[in-house]
Amino acid sequence: MEEYLDIVDENGNLTGEKELRRVVHAKGLWHWVVHIYFFRTKGDFIEILVHLRSKFKDLDPNKWDTRFGGHVDSKKSIEEAIIKEIKEETGLSINLKDLLKGKAEKYDGEKNKEFISVYYYNFLGNKEELSFDDGEVQEVKWMNENEIIDSMKNNPKIWTMGNDDLMKIIRELKSLL
């Protein structure tokens, strides 16, 4: 079943229109997404749970990603999307009060135009507690911030984001801790 997304204007305001996800991406229409970063602290370092995206994803297949998340379905709230995406992508049922709220971002890509609600989750469990039954994740592993930065510098094509974006996320997360 294809998902419908609410269309927003260039300021993030609902237009009252909705469209199929594939059409939203094909036409480059503005929409809302959520990104949730799973992290933990180890000594002086922040570790982020990174995952290898499925080879079947329409955007960035077979690339490492630092965040979980997805689209905010039509008529749903950001909070509902967070709970749904974390459950679908990791098998966890979380409480919203356990999240740190980051700043919303605007991404104006060539075809993908998104308003991104960013959240951080201090995951204290083991990665073995997670389940990846939706076919979107091939593998997960913990990497500290320096390991991710080095990997992005040495192999930028295997990542969904660049060093500058990661550094912005790390700075924001540290400011929230």
13 within some domain? no
CA distances to 134, 135, 136, 149 from 55, rounded to whole Å, are: 13, 9, 8, 23
Neighbours of 115 (CB within 10 A): 19
d(Cα 173, Cα 51) in Å, to the nearest integer? Answer: 19
Range of the domain at 64: 32-176
| Mutual angle of helices 163-176 and 145-154, in 10-degree steps | 170
Domain count for the chain, please give it.
1
Q: Output the pTM of the full model.
A: 0.92
135 within some domain? yes
Work out the percent of the chain whose per-residue pLDDT is above 70: 99
Exposed/middle/buried for 10, CB within 10 Å: 0-12, 13-18, 19+? Answer: exposed
**Residues near 151 by beta carbon (within 8 Å), at least 6 away in sequence:** 64, 143, 158, 159
User: What pLDDT does residue 132 have?
Assistant: 85
pLDDT in tens, 124-171: 998 889 998 777 888 999 999 999 999 999 999 999 998 899 999 999
**CATH code for the domain in which residue 110 is found:** 3.90.79.10
Residue range 88-110: mean pLDDT, rounded: 93
d(Cα 65, Cα 160) in Å, to the nearest integer? Answer: 6
170 within some domain? yes
**pLDDT bracket for residue 114 (50, 70, 90):** very high
118 within some domain? yes
5 within some domain? no
79 within some domain? yes
Which pair of tokens denotes residue 54?
């499925």
Report whether 117 contacts 107 (CB < 8 A).
no
Supply the DSSP string of 77-95, one letter for each residue: -HHHHHHHHHHHHH-----
Bridge partners of 39?
48, 122
**pLDDT bracket for residue 2 (50, 70, 90):** confident
